[in-house]
Structure 1
Amino acid sequence: MMKKKFLMLSIAITAIGLSSCRQGCTDPLALNYDHTVKKDNGTCEYPPEIITEALIDDIAAPTTLVAKNYEVCGNIYVSSELTVMPGAIFTMCEGSSITIESNGYMNATGTAENPIIFKGETAAKGFWTGIAFKSNNPNNKLIHASVSDAGTYWAWDYAGVYVGNNAQISMSNSSITNNAEYGLFIENGGLISNFSSNTFGTNKIGFSLAVDQVHKIDGASNYNEANTNDYVEVRNGTIGTDVTWPATTTPLLVDDLTIDGGLTLSPGSNIKMEATAVINVKATGYLNATGTSSNPITIVGRYASTGYWSGMRIESNNPNNKLIYTTIADGGNYWAYEYSNIHVKGKVEMNNCNVNNANSYGLYIDNGAQISCNSTIATTITAVEAANSFSGNGTGPDANCTAACTVFFE
């Protein structure tokens, strides 16, 4: 009996000793709190809202920011490698900013369960300046991240996220909301390395980019979640390679567009042209706008006004010049395009199109130009009208036609 009592006492003493030796997290507020240990070893992990750390120094050496709530009350410049871990929250003071310099990068890759958040201390448009990417580093990433309440700085076009000339960004599954002017502004010369499934909401304009980057965006992103303006702003420029634009549910508002390479518009594309804008298909380029009966393409003025935009000129003889199941309307502002919606100097195939509301003629075909309808070269107005529909043309102030003003062969 004495041996049994002694054995039980030894076990109890050993258990107490082991418990007193074990180390872990002893803070009940921590995510990994362990009530069985007595000695804290500094491994406690906290929800980001529990710990707030003031971020006041520039990032000049490789840095990893873990899941905490960071308070930023100044201008942070990143000139080295910055990695932001899932769950980090940046609470931005009034007028504060984060600038990724040319020799730095910011990889802010969160997860669906633990996104990375950049928000104003006050949820007001333009409360803080925003994030500017000025480096051409492929590690610049916003993935499962959100940016809101920014856009106070005019030099960043009042945007929540600004990508400078020669800079680049990869962005997916992220939301850019409640910013003063633009959600995302990509400067001319800025590059998109990857882009998918993003949301732009309650900004004045969700997204602005140059024409040479439109083929990098996707049709699945939500470009208008209650923005003031329902369009993606596409600024003027030149397309020099063969690219395909996606069909976006939000219209693309296009300024002057010069095509030196090839542009294919996906079925269902919705293009609105800015005032006096042109589409100029140069001799080296082509435009393939092939829609379907159930998924037509539209290329119309921002507003349905006769001669609102300048119109389309096709100068090339490329067999890929196609207008099929496409509506072209509201053009003819420009005298050099004969005040028409479509001015053909080269070659085009045209079937099942609606050509409406031109200043003068709906379609103007230069001497020596060629138009094919129903797989046959059309040489008469009747042949073109049999394959396409024309209405409301020739009602503008510069109309030099009478009667229907549908098609003119020079």
Structure 2
Amino acid sequence: MELDSCTIQDCKEIGLHWVGYASTLNISNSTFTRNDLPILTNPNFINSIDETSTYSGNVNDYIRLERSDVNQDITFHNIDVPFFSNGFKPKNDASRKITFAPGVTLLMDAGSEILISNSTHQHAAIMAGTADNRITVKGKESVPGYWKGINIQSNSPLNEIGYLDISDAGETIGYPNGAIKLGFNDYLNIHDVNFINCLEYAMSINYYYGYNFHLEYSNLNLVNTPKLFSDWFGAEVIDPYNP
């Protein structure tokens, strides 16, 4: 279906409830306003939710994403409201790329997690903002440990987290409890990231099987976050390559 130059407004609950496994909907030049919620869908359908349309002026000004395995390459576009997610991960039937455009804001629900796993296929997270247009991922409530964080368990050389503000993350019970986790034999280029109001550690790294990981890091800043690096069991690490 094509939804072009339409206005959806004054709906009691949801302006557009988009579900299904094989549906295709192209949204362009449309307005979602004065609804309780503009759109409820899952991450597999967000490629069409882009800057050509507007989604603000609702009671709940965010795009609600229900938990689902991601079964295609997806891009979070820099729209005029945040996305709100209760967690997602790639489906392990083919390689998937999950991309965040500069300027995106993503709210995370309590206890949720972004998991980028390898398993059979090599998945990738591309979260590269710019100095003038940072990406923001934070808890829906501003509480340390409100959501679990970003878990990179992938050795894709495309994995990049840059010019990101990550807030309110960390495991409240047990370890590892870094806002960003890097697993064994995995790859991450991380730079220009602000860790804000996170529970204990900015990053946790899995040394359990030795030094089999690739980490490039620079300009990581702590804001109301106590410590930078830990191992998988919660012990502080000063130098990730010499714990």
1:181 maps to 13
Indicate which of 145, 151, 170 corresponds to 1:307: 145
The alpha-carbon deviation at position 336 of structure 1 amounts to: 6.7
Q: Secondary structure at the match of 1:341?
A: strand
**What's the CA shift for 1:229?**
0.8
Judge conservation of contact 1:318–1:347 (CA < 8 Å) in 2: yes
Residues in 2 aligned to 1:288 and 1:242: alpha-carbon distance in whole angstroms: 11
Q: Within the alignment, does 1:348 sit opposite 2:180 as a pair?
A: no
1:407 aligns with 2:229: yes
2:79 is the counterpart of 1:248? yes
Tell me, yes or no, if the aligned pair for 2:85 and 2:107 is still in contact at 8 Å.
yes
Using the aligned pairs only, state the percent identity: 23
Aligned Cα RMSD in Å?
1.7
Query: What TM-score results when the alignment is normalised by the length of structure 2?
Result: 0.84
Larger proportion of strand: 2
Asked whether the equivalents of residues 178 and 230 of structure 2 are also in contact (C-alpha less than 8 Å), the reply is no
- Provide the rounded CA distance (Å) in 1 between the counterparts of 2:175 and 2:155: 17
C-alpha distance in 1, partners of 2:68/2:7?
A: 27
Matched AA of 1:369: F
Structure 1 residue runs of 5 or longer lacking an equivalent are 1-168, 374-383, 394-403
Give the structure 2 partner of residue 12 of structure 1.
Answer: none
- Tell whether 2:107 aligns with 1:269: no
Residue in structure 2 matching 1:195, options 23, 27, 31:
27
Listed as ranges, the gaps of 5+ residues in structure 2 are: 233-243
- Of 70, 84, 90, the residue aligned with 1:239 is 70
Deviations 1:138-176 (A, max 9, x none): xxxxxxxxxxxxxxxxxxxxxxxxxxxxxxx32111011
Which structure would you say has the larger RCO, counting Cα contacts within 8 Å and 6 or more residues apart?
Answer: 2
Query: Distance between the aligned counterparts of 1:337 and 1:250, measured in 2?
Result: 33
- Determine the C-alpha separation between the residues in 2 that align with 1:175 and 1:215: 19
Give the aligned partner of residue 279 of structure 1. 114
Corresponding residue SS for 1:222: coil
Kindly indicate which of the two structures has a greater share of residues assigned to helix.
Answer: 1
CA contact (8 A) 1:188 1:210 kept: no
Matches within 5 A, 1:104-183: 169-183=1-15
Aligned residue pairs: how many?
219
Q: 1:38-53, aligned counterparts within 5 Å?
A: none
**Equivalent residue, structure 1, for 2:236:** none
The structure that has the greater radius of gyration is 1
| 1:65-85: CA deviation from partner (whole Å, max 9, x where unpaired) | xxxxxxxxxxxxxxxxxxxxx
> Is residue 239–residue 259 contact of structure 1 (8 Å, CA) maintained in 2?
yes
Alignment of 1:292-371 (within 5 A): 292-333=130-171, 335=173, 338-345=176-183, 346-367=186-207, 368-371=212-215
Q: Secondary structure at the match of 2:52?
A: coil
Structure 1 counterpart of 2:18, one-letter code: I
